[in-house]
Amino acid sequence: MALSKDFLWGGATAANQAEGGVLEGGRGLSNVDLLPTGPDRSKIAAGELEMLEWQEGYYYPAKAAIDMYHRYMEDIELFAELGFKVYRMSLSWSRIFPNGDDNEPNEEGLAFYEGIFKKLKEHGIEPLVTIAHFDVPVHLIKTYGGWKNRQLVDFYTQYATTVLTRFKEYVTYWLTINEINILLHQPFVGGGIIFKEGDNRQEIKYQAAHHQLVASALVTKAAHAINPENKVGCMLAGGSHYPYTCRPEDYQEAINRDREGYFFIDVQARGKYPNYALKKFEREGLNIQMAEDDAEILAASPVDFVTFSYYCSRTVSGTPEDYAQATGNLFPSIKNEYLPSTEWGWQIDPLGLRNSLNQLYDRYQKPLFIVENGLGAIDEPDENGYVADDYRIDYLRKHIQAFKDAVEIDGVELLGYTTWGCIDLVAASTGQMSKRYGFVYVDRDDEGNGTLNRTKKKSFDWYKKVIASNGEQL
């Protein structure tokens, strides 16, 4: 079975990493606007250091990002030239509800996105819209403490219902929350959470997770009611865990680490808490407040499809000493000697993508969608500004072959594939521009210098052929 002729080929970006224009058009401040480059970024992202205002002495790359706010027409023209069938993007919550708890949405923010959807429609490109991609209005953090507060369920539902209604004629593919499991690793990024001394951090994180899961189910229900054609997906930061050795303890650790992520998708796709999570809450004394009808809400509205990001696999061990060899991943991982690494220490593993697809399909039996994949690398433009990024082509070629094998040999149901950062944008983990993923080079550096001009890389023509041949010409 070859890829279906309706296979959705495309690329992905997120508002906070691409738009800029953070105080334009009536937009309010959001958590991700306050992540600077430099050593404090990871502490802020983890909720260990408070940053709720812009401060002197820091550089905040999201302020201007790649200025898609003013340049989306040009960017969408490039996506159309690539032959995109789908463009994954996110909406900025604080562009639509500047404070998050406003009574009325910001019309200018809605009009901005309507402009994007009209332009996509003109080119026959299907939008795949993430409602919240690392995005919490700062006012909701200052006033309510972010997602640890149950009231966020209402604010998020109001925001989501507004966009579902307003953009009904343009969008049918929706994702509720980007990489929902990031909440456990970067609680400020994933949930606008800042810890205080003495907090029970695990309890706060799982309480916030519960609120997001309930909100996601409510929005899935609303989406189906607003337009029965709507298809709603969940989104996992994917990449399976390998046991470092065949010691049973290492295998057990790999299962447990996979479950940290699957926990969210188990609830969103199956509609109820898995037993291993309930047992964990009990064992660790985590007191998670659940309202009386929450179980019913979760059960009533599982997602229609399961999406995930995939960059690398990870290797874990039951023995702490083995971590002496750990690599630079957000999720602690031991260096896997069988795999090469990127310049940022992410281990390149195309077969891991095929295996992940199989694991997810076996587990959920729902259509899948790879909504992020790609190589973050340093590009060196020549004197004409051209980047010969054969390394990126090589990475993508192998990963595309791997998902084709999952579909054609293993029979996995896959709706589409959007590469991450189809145009260069700000890296989420480091805030760097120099960690580039795009088919289109953006002239901007890590300090905010550059013309912001767009130039096609070698991979641009390559991906165009891949799409035109429906993945036959790699």
What's the min distance (Å) between Cβ of 281 and ligand BG6?
A: 26
176 binds ligand BG6 (CB under 6 A): no
Question: What is the greatest pairwise CA distance in the chain?
Answer: 64
428 binds ligand BG6 (CB under 6 A): yes
Query: Which of 23, 81, 185, 33 minimizes the C-alpha distance to 422?
Result: 81
Judged by CB under 6 A, the residue of 8, 14, 213, 219 near ligand BG6 is 14
93 binds ligand BG6 (CB under 6 A): no
Rounded to whole angstroms, the Cα distance separating 115 from 121 reads 10
What's the min distance (Å) between Cβ of 86 and ligand BG6?
A: 16
Rounded to whole angstroms, the Cα distance separating 57 from 87 reads 36
Question: What string of DSSP letters covers 256-287?
Answer: HHHHHHHHHHHHHHHSS--HHHHHHHHHTT--
Beta carbon nearer to ligand BG6, 37 or 430? 430
What's the min distance (Å) between Cβ of 342 and ligand BG6?
A: 9
379 binds ligand BG6 (CB under 6 A): no
Helices (H), 326-425: 350-364, 390-408
376 binds ligand BG6 (CB under 6 A): yes
* Alpha-carbon radius of gyration of the chain: 21
Q: Report angle CA 319, 320, 322 to the nearest 5 degrees.
A: 75
Choose the stretch contacting ligand BG6; rule: CB under 6 A; options: 164-172, 358-366, 407-415, 423-431.
Answer: 423-431
Contacts of 403 (CB under 8 A, 6+ apart): 353, 354, 357, 370, 414, 417
Count of Cβ atoms closer than 10 Å to residue 196 Cβ: 10
Size of the chain in residues: 474
Tokens, residue 392: 């990126």
418 binds ligand BG6 (CB under 6 A): no
What stretch of H or E contains 232?
Answer: strand 231-237
Rounded to whole angstroms, the Cα distance separating 31 from 53 reads 10
Question: What string of DSSP letters covers 101-140?
Answer: S-SS--HHHHHHHHHHHHHHHHTTPEEEEEEESS--BHHH
Beta carbon nearer to ligand BG6, 14 or 306? 14
177 binds ligand BG6 (CB under 6 A): no
User: Is 380 an active-site residue?
Assistant: no
Beta carbon nearer to ligand BG6, 126 or 179? 179
429 binds ligand BG6 (CB under 6 A): yes
Rounded to whole angstroms, the Cα distance separating 188 from 47 reads 5
192 binds ligand BG6 (CB under 6 A): no
Choose the stretch contacting ligand BG6; rule: CB under 6 A; options: 60-68, 193-201, 425-433, 463-471.
Answer: 425-433
Beta carbon nearer to ligand BG6, 3 or 368? 368
Beta carbon nearer to ligand BG6, 181 or 301? 181
What's the min distance (Å) between Cβ of 240 and ligand BG6?
A: 16
> Of residues 372, 413, 447, 472, which has the active-site annotation?
372
What's the min distance (Å) between Cβ of 435 and ligand BG6?
A: 5
333 binds ligand BG6 (CB under 6 A): no
Rounded to whole angstroms, the Cα distance separating 137 from 109 reads 14
422 binds ligand BG6 (CB under 6 A): no
**129 and 174 Cβ atoms separated by less than 8 Å:** yes
238 binds ligand BG6 (CB under 6 A): no
Phi-psi region of 247 (alpha: psi -120 to 50; beta: other; left: phi over 0): beta
Choose the stretch contacting ligand BG6; rule: CB under 6 A; options: 55-63, 210-218, 266-274, 421-429.
Answer: 421-429
Beta carbon nearer to ligand BG6, 175 or 204? 175
Tokens, residue 337: 């000697």
User: Is 372 an active-site residue?
Assistant: yes
178 binds ligand BG6 (CB under 6 A): yes
Dihedrals phi, psi of 114, to nearest 5 degrees: -60, -40
Contacts of 320 (CB under 8 A, 6+ apart): none
31 binds ligand BG6 (CB under 6 A): no
Residue with nearest beta carbon to ligand BG6: 429
What's the min distance (Å) between Cβ of 37 and ligand BG6?
A: 12
179 binds ligand BG6 (CB under 6 A): yes
420 binds ligand BG6 (CB under 6 A): yes
309 binds ligand BG6 (CB under 6 A): yes
427 binds ligand BG6 (CB under 6 A): yes
Judged by CB under 6 A, the residue of 372, 379, 389, 424 near ligand BG6 is 372
Q: Which residues bind ligand BG6 (CB under 6 A)?
A: 14, 17, 178-179, 237, 309, 372, 376, 420, 427-430, 435
Which positions are catalytic? Answer: 179, 372
